[in-house]
A and B are shown apart, each in its own frame.
Chain A
């Protein structure tokens, strides 16, 4: 879900990550602080227009919120029941706007560029003992581990299924944790053997 980058040459692709992140932070905060349905709806339209600018198909935009559809439905139903249609629409639209906006940044920014600019920003914290290179290595690794953990979880669940244990949380979580630590040990060896100086 984090390897979202879609290659392109649009204005948004060429913008450097720093300002893009700053714009995201400001826009997200603004969205959160305003409480008007109209403004929120306009924001969604504006964000979708930005997808056009970035040459990202609407299908990709929809794919960003599809996994959350059922949450949207629940939110909408609950808010409608308790607080009326306007608030329900507002809450769901605001959520959609936030996710679409954050996804637009990830879709148009390579993870490595994002990490590079964060590393540059982190140099400011060097005097208090922050090592930017180590932080950026940790971020890259974390992003790589997420899909791998998902796959290990599936494998473990399948293995335990043959023993009728797939419903036992511990029977799945314990081997998963042990394999994850083993993977981390192997990855440290690989990083060391590829010449990384700590």
Chain B
């Protein structure tokens, strides 16, 4: 790992944290995961940095949250949050970033729709697959209700997929050697 890799990893940790400073849209009294811009950081880390560096960036992010740094949206942090209803989604982030990075970098010449599809796969499908069962168990909700709730998040997540796709492709044109 070069100095540049370390700096890029740090940059995407900071970016994910900075996205958390945008006010989240919370509902159902915090019993449900709030809609935040932070998963955009997950999608960007993966699609820009690739599987290894993107995955490490989010792993470091989650470790810092667990250590008590208030990096999650709304200034949340600490071990407690990871045990809450949205814990599964947050713990899934490193995996999602790695999956996105793997797919996007393996198909670097794919057109914009395919890139978007791959980001959606890692950033929505994989994240929901890991986060929803966790929410169902921790929140005593049951899988069917959890699934129904998550439908409300899909439009917001699709917007983030579009943003991540456009930004990642733009960055790759501006800096082919990232």
Contacts and interface: CB of A to CB of B under 8 A. Distances in A.
On whether A and B touch (CB less than 8 Å), the answer reads yes
B80 A31 contact: yes
Nearest to B175: A181
A88 interface: yes
B13 A114 contact: no
Size band of the interface chain B makes with A: 35 or more
Contact of A99 (B4, B8, B9, B70): B70
A74 B67 CA distance: 27
B15 interface: yes
Nearest to B9: A138
B126 interface: no
Contact of A191 (B3, B77, B78): B3
Contact of A149 (B18, B28, B44, B171): B18
A174 B167 contact: yes
A62 interface: no
28 contacts: A1-B75, A2-B70, A25-B68, A29-B83, A32-B80, A67-B75, A71-B74, A91-B29, A99-B70, A99-B77, A102-B69, A114-B67, A135-B60, A137-B10, A138-B9, A141-B10, A141-B11, A141-B14, A142-B64, A144-B14, A145-B11, A145-B13, A146-B18, A149-B15, A150-B21, A178-B174, A184-B8, A198-B1
Q: Which 10 A-B pairs have the closest CB atoms?
A: A145-B14, A141-B10, A28-B80, A79-B29, A142-B13, A32-B80, A25-B79, A142-B10, A28-B78, A149-B18
B80 A180 contact: no
A177 B26 CA distance: 27
A48 interface: no
Nearest to B138: A32
Main secondary structure of the interface of B (DSSP, over half): helix
Contacts of A140: 10
Contacts of A145: 10-11, 13-15
Nearest to B4: A188
B163 interface: yes
A156 interface: no
A137 B80 contact: no
B30 interface: yes
A192 interface: yes
A98 B78 contact: yes
